[in-house]
Amino acid sequence: MRTTVTFDPDVYIRLQEVARERGQSIRVVLNDALRKGLLPVQAGKRKPVTLRVFPMGLRVGLSYDNIGELLERIDGPLERCQSAPVCARFKLRQQAT
């Protein structure tokens, strides 16, 4: 079947290079590339990921049960969100009282 296709210059140059490298015509290289490109995408089998875990411990008196409290104790009051508008309004209210 014949049709007219307009290629971008870089695509056509690469098509010519591949045809020359393989010793094939542009038509054969183009048909092969289109066949491969039009195949349905299949998810390949992935290798399982293994993570090494190290116990880091937690200082006495600190707990992961309340992250907000933990951050307050580590960073100081509202230190972690100075730029957030909600925190800025909260700070202003605290200063007013």
Domain boundaries, the chain: 7-39, 67-96
Q: How far apart are CA 90 and CA 72, in angstroms?
A: 14
Binning pLDDT at 50, 70 and 90, where does residue 15 land? very high
Q: Are 64 and 70 in contact (CB under 8 A)?
A: yes
* 61: pLDDT strictly greater than 80: no
Assessment of whether the complete model's pTM goes beyond 0.85: no
Name the average pLDDT for the chain: 80
